[in-house]
């Protein structure tokens, strides 16, 4: 059985923490949000971060209470410009909250656990199909969110896929990232530095062989370790680059799953417990004390010879009401089994109110349920999975 933990893919979502400051996440226009605590905040797009100030997000509907025992997990559904929040309601651990970015409205989607163990569940949101895939009780599960921007009246349900990873999951603390329509699992038993275990989503099976992503320029490969693995977004197509940050914060590894190479970059300067997320051109760190940092990256420069040469972490902002004290510990901390501290975020006396949204919806994907060009349909994937299972 997997140990108790959470994972962010942010996203979601690695350097995992029981951060009182919530979870960072982007919308489809790559505006940065921090959701959780007493208030939710918007920091705008990267070109405005040099003078970023928190705008309080004013949204209607059923907002999560953000009172879970561990940090919430936030995911962007890029085609639908919706943000899904898990683990934010202690009274409803299986429910998934949805923030409709365009209408600034919260809703709660009922989800039946149907046998999944929410205490050991580690999930990822597939970019193309908008299906959550989870590792729980030693096997893979899924729940289909179709093209949802808001909750629907009927409950969804987790489904046991009847498929297990190609390795023994006993004691494995999952670190999962999504890229090239594959779930990548880092730090798996039996792997070597630079190797990841793969679950092939569109054929619904675990790849038997480990996949090697060697570092460029003779640098060290990423370690066999727990961490966070947020995926960088692109303008439309599937994600192809994962930012893997080990829990010790020693480096930031850009794993290019198309080029089969890895570019090691600087690790975060703040080594305290944090949650990471990524946009199209930055990796963002939110510390447990409410500090926000970012690493500008160019996913096209996997060799690190141009845009990524000398890439360094920069200060973005500090959440209103957050502590400005520098952590004394030099070690990062995993949230495995760690209670969530009391919330400390406050909306008083700082920031402005955002009631209209920072940007209009970018139109990445259609609203008619057919998806955008290059997007594989969920029904086709799940139909193939049913066919595959029937063969056995």
Q: How far apart are CA 231 and CA 148, in angstroms?
A: 21
- Tell me 265's DSSP state: E
The pLDDT tens digits for 135-146 are 999 999 999 999
**Beta carbons within 8 Å of 295's beta carbon, 6+ residues apart:** 252, 265, 266, 268, 282, 283, 284, 285, 311, 312, 313, 314
Specify the range with the lowest mean pLDDT, choosing from 117-131, 166-180, 333-347. 333-347
The stretch 9-15 carries a mean pLDDT of 38
Closest CA to 84 of 98, 95, 71: 98
Structure tokens at 216: 């460029």
What CA–CA distance (Å, rounded) separates 364 from 28?
Answer: 7
Residue 336 CB coordination number (10 Å)? 15
For residue range 158-194, list pLDDT tens digits in order.
Answer: 999 999 999 999 999 999 999 999 999 999 999 999 9
Mean pLDDT calculated for residue range 110-135: 95
> What's the rounded mean pLDDT across residues 88-98?
96
Q: Which pLDDT score is estimated for 325?
A: 53
Mean pLDDT, residues 338-359 taken together: 36
| C-beta separation of 19 from 287 below 8 A | yes
Could you tell me the domains of the chain?
Answer: 23-391 (2.120.10.30)
Instruction: Tell me the helix, strand and coil percentages in the chain, rounded to 5.
Output: 5, 35, 60
Three-state DSSP at 389 gives: helix
Query: With helix as H, strand as E and coil as C, how does 182-245 read?
Result: EEEEECCCCCCCCEEEEEEHHHCEECCCCEECCEHHHCCCCCCCCEECCECCCCCCCCCEEEEE
Give the pLDDT score at 69.
Answer: 84
Q: Which tokens belong to 21?
A: 């400051």
Pairwise CA distance, residues 132 & 144, whole Å: 6
pLDDT at 298 over 90: yes
Report pLDDT digits (tens) over 40-69.
Answer: 999 999 999 998 889 999 999 999 999 988
Proportion of the chain above pLDDT 90, given as a percent: 70
User: How do residues 357-391 score in pLDDT, each as one tens digit?
Assistant: 333 333 333 333 333 334 444 444 444 444 333 33
Tokens of 11: 């996203």
Output the average pLDDT for the chain.
82
Sign of CA dihedral 215, 125, 281, 46: negative
Cα–Cα distance measured from residue 264 to residue 302, given in angstroms and rounded to the nearest whole number: 9
Q: Kindly report the pTM of this predicted structure.
A: 0.81
- Region 17-43: mean pLDDT is 87
């Amino acid at each position: 059985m997997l140990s108790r933990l959470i994972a962010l893919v942010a996203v979601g979502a690695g350097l995992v923490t029981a951060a009182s400051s919530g979870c960072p996440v982007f919308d489809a226009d790559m505006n940065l949000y921090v959701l959780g605590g007493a208030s939710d905040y918007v920091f705008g797009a990267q070109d405005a971060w040099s003078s970023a100030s928190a705008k309080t997000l004013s949204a209607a509907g059923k907002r999560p209470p953000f009172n879970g025992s561990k940090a919430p997990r936030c995911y962007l559904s890029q085609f639908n410009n919706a943000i899904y929040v898990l683990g934010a309601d202690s009274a409803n651990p299986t429910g998934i909250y949805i923030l409709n970015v365009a209408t600034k409205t919260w809703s709660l989607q009922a989800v039946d656990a149907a046998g999944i163990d929410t205490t050991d569940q580690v999930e990822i949101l597939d970019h193309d199909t908008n299906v959550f895939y989870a590792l729980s009780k030693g096997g893979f599960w899924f729940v289909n969110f179709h093209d949802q921007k808001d909750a629907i009246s009927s409950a969804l349900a987790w489904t046991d896929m009847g498929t297990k990873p190609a390795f023994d999951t006993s004691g494995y603390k999952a670190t999962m990232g999504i890229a090239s329509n594959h779930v990548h699992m880092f730090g798996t038993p039996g792997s070597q530095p630079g190797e990841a275990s793969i679950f092939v989503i569109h054929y619904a099976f675990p790849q038997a062989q480990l996949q090697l992503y060697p570092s460029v320029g003779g640098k060290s490969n990423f370690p066999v370790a727990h961490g966070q693995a947020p995926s960088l977004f692109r303008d439309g197509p599937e994600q192809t680059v994962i930012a893997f940050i080990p829990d010790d914060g020693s480096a930031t590894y850009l794993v290019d799953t198309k080029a089969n190479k890895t570019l090691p970059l600087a690790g975060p300067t703040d080594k305290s417990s944090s949650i990471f997320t990524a946009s199209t051109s930055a990796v963002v760190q939110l510390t447990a004390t409410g500090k926000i940092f970012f690493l500008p990256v160019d996913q096209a420069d996997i060799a690190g010879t141009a845009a990524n040469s000398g890439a360094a972490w920069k200060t973005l902002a500090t959440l209103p009401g957050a502590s400005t004290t520098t952590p004394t510990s030099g070690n990062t901390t995993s949230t495995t089994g760690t209670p969530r501290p009391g919330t400390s975020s406050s909306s008083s006396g700082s920031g402005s109110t955002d009631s209209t949204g920072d940007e209009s919806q970018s139109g990445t994907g259609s609203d008619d349920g057919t998806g955008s060009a290059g997007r594989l349909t969920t029904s086709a994937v799940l139909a193939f999975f049913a066919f595959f299972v029937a063969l056995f």
